[in-house]
């Protein structure tokens, strides 16, 4: 994918996340469509394609959102580490892989933000934060993953080495 | 992992820390103001476009009508409850001329600045909204924000030229000195990660009942006294605890804020440490 196309999609994603997604609250939390799309794209296309998008999306969301610019980028960075898991082919089913990566990326994302809130003087109630924000967010993102992944998968089929498996 | 991937990962990590440092030094404020300026209409259009879908998802059936009716009932309820609270407060205050004078001194002429909510925090851990008024309109950090029904919404936490971020009272970093109107029991109303409001440090002996009004106390100088926060929803106390656990239902419709008022006539005057 050309950089400008990926960058454009990433900006729209970040704006959509900031403007609209918080309206869709399930279990008291809003899904992170941007994260789910980035992880799905990672599984379908690999790290090389997703990292520039991750950069643009993270910077944009940092600038339009209330978080410190750079913090969202840092919270999205574990996706790069998770990309290594994909390269190792530990899990042979892409469908299972994307679910596992979304779960891990969601927890990592929320934990980075939680650490930031606590470091800057927020409530130190980790248990409540985990049960009311981190865990529900991971579950909601997980539920959103299958449709998003299927759209990604069929929008841009992977190469012959990586097949859709169940 | 290829060299290109490693380079990108390193670049992103460095960029994250550089951006955080630049933001800390307020170097990015003009960029953030410009970005909000450019994207605010787009965000408003996106939110308006997706609101019916969100209503449908949230309510499943008869989404818009239910949502609108609910909002109008909440607004009406908020207005009436505020009137009742103000009437009760006036009654209580009238019994104490000294307090009344203090309040009058603090509110010589209330002036409000109307603002529209243009953005919301996208994370699940914070409760903040952005409004379309900034330092150019006279907004300053620490100013109080209320609804059109005069219920407490939060405080201005970050100001740009044309925009400001408001930290809602449900934010985990928010703490408001408050009293229970009927018993005058003092405490601190604090937000939490679950979006609930808790009134902390209420002594075991304080007579607090479900349905009592909770208002700002003015202690500490961060908030003017007498602004309605909400009503006592639940009280939990055991003999082992030093304080009661008081849960407060906030009065303002914080999840569906469209317009708010910034109380520009009040500037926080936090007391210096002794």
Range of the domain at B148: 42-274
pLDDT in tens, chain B (274 residues): 688 888 989 999 999 999 999 988 888 888 888 888 888 888 888 888 888 888 777 766 555 667 777 778 888 888 888 888 878 777 766 665 554 454 445 455 678 898 988 888 878 888 899 999 999 999 999 999 998 878 899 999 999 988 999 999 999 889 999 999 888 889 999 998 888 899 999 888 888 888 889 999 888 888 888 899 999 998 887 777 788 889 999 888 887 788 899 998 888 876 665 6
Q: Is residue B50 part of a domain?
A: yes
- Chain A: nearest CA to B119, how far in angstroms? 6
In a domain, B28, yes or no: no
Give the residue among B248, B177, B235, B188 at the shortest CA–CA distance from B209. B235
> Per the domain annotation, does A160 fall within a domain?
no
Rounded to the nearest angstrom, the gap between the alpha carbon of residue B108 and the centroid of all alpha carbons in its chain is: 24
Rounded to the nearest angstrom, the minimum Cα separation between B173 and chain A is 4
Domain coverage including residue A116: 3-155
Q: Is residue B6 part of a domain?
A: no
User: Taking CB atoms and an 8 Å limit, are B193 and A71 in contact across chains?
Assistant: no
Instruction: Name the residue among B16, B24, B42 with its Cβ closest to that of A77.
Output: B16
Residue of B nearest to A21 (CA): B122
ipTM: 0.84
Cβ–Cβ contact B51 with A under 8 A: yes
Quick check: is B140 in a domain?
yes
Cβ contact A58–B4 (<8 Å): no
| pTM exceeds cut of 0.80 | no
The angle subtended at Cα B149 by Cα B145 and Cα B153, nearest 5°, is 30
User: Quick check: A139 contacting B, CB < 8 Å?
Assistant: no
Least CA distance to B52: which residue of chain A?
A23
A19, A21, A26, A29: CA torsion to nearest 10: -70
Q: Which of B6, B8, B122 to mutate to test the interface with A (most CBs of A within 10 A)?
A: B122
Q: Which of residues 211-240 of B touch A (CB under 8 A)?
A: none
For residue A84, list chain B residues with Cβ-Cβ distance below 8 A. Answer: 1
CATH number (domain holding residue B256) = 2.40.10.350
Does residue A44 lie within any of the structural domains? yes
Q: Is B32 inside any structural domain?
A: no
B31 is a domain residue? no
What pLDDT digit, counting tens, does each position of B179-223 carry?
998 888 899 999 988 888 999 998 888 888 888 899 998 888 888
Confirm whether B15 is domain-assigned: no
Total number of domains constituting chain A: 1
pLDDT for position A165: 47
Three-state secondary structure string covering chain B: CCHHHHHHHHHHHHHHHHHHHHHHCCCCHHHHHHHHHHHHHHHHHHHHHHHHHHHHHHHCCCHHHHHHHHHHHHHHHHHHHHHHHHHHHHHHHHCCHHHHHHHHHHCCCCCEEEEEEEEECCCCCCCEEEECCCHHHCCCCCCEEECCCCEEEEEEEEECCCCEEEEECCCCCCEEEEEECCCCCEEEEECCCCCCEEEEEEECCCCCCCCCEEEECCCCCCCCCCCEEEEEEEEECCCCCCEEEEEEEECCCHHHCCEEEEECCCCCCCCCCC
Q: Which of B39, B58, B172 sits opposite A15 (nearest CB)?
A: B39
How confident is the model over A26-48, as pLDDT tens digits? 888 889 999 999 999 999 888 88
**Number of domains, chain B:** 1
């Amino acid at each position: 994918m050309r950089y400008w196309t990926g960058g454009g999609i990433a900006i729209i994603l970040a704006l959509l996340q900031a403007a609209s997604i918080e309206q869709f609250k399930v279990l008291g939390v809003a899904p992170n469509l941007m994260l789910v799309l980035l992880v799905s794209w990672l599984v379908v296309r690999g790290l090389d394609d997703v990292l520039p998008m991750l950069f643009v999306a993270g910077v944009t969301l940092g600038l339009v959102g209330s978080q410190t610019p750079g913090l969202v980028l840092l919270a999205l960075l574990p996706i790069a580490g998770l990309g290594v898991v994909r390269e190792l082919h530990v899990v042979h089913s892409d469908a299972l892989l994307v679910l596992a990566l979304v779960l891990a990326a969601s927890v990592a994302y929320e934990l980075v933000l939680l650490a930031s809130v606590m470091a800057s003087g927020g409530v130190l109630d980790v248990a409540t934060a985990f049960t009311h924000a981190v865990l529900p967010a991971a579950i909601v993102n997980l539920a959103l993953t299958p449709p998003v992944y299927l759209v990604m998968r069929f929008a841009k089929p992977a190469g012959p080495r990586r097949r859709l498996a169940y | 992992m290829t060299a290109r991937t490693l380079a990108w990962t390193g670049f992103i990590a460095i960029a994250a820390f550089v951006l955080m440092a630049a933001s800390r030094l307020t170097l990015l404020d003009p960029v953030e103001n410009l970005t909000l300026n450019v994207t605010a209409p787009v965000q408003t259009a996106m939110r308006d476009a997706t609101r019916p879908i969100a209503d449908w998802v949230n309510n499943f059936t008869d989404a818009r009508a239910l949502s609108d009716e609910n909002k109008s009932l909440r607004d009406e309820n908020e207005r009436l409850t505020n009137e009742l609270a103000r009437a009760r407060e006036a009654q209580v205050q009238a019994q104490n001329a000294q307090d009344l004078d203090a309040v009058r001194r603090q509110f010589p002429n209330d002036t409000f600045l109307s603002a529209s909510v243009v953005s919301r925090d996208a994370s699940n851990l914070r409760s903040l909204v952005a409004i379309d008024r900034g330092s150019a309109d006279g907004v300053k950090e620490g100013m109080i924000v209320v609804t059109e029904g005069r219920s407490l919404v939060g405080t201005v936490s970050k100001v740009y030229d044309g925009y400001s971020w408001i930290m809602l009272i449900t934010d985990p970093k928010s703490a408001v000195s408050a009293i229970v109107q009927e018993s005058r029991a003092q405490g601190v109303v604090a937000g939490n990660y679950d979006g609930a409001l808790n009134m902390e440090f209420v002594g075991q002996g304080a007579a607090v009942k479900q349905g009592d009004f909770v208002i700002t106390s003015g202690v500490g100088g961060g908030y003017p006294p007498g602004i309605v926060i909400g009503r006592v929803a639940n009280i939990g106390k055991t003999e082992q605890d030093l304080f009661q656990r008081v849960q407060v239902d906030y009065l303002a419709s914080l999840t569906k804020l469209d317009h708010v008022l910034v109380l520009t006539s009040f500037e926080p005057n936090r007391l210096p440490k002794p």
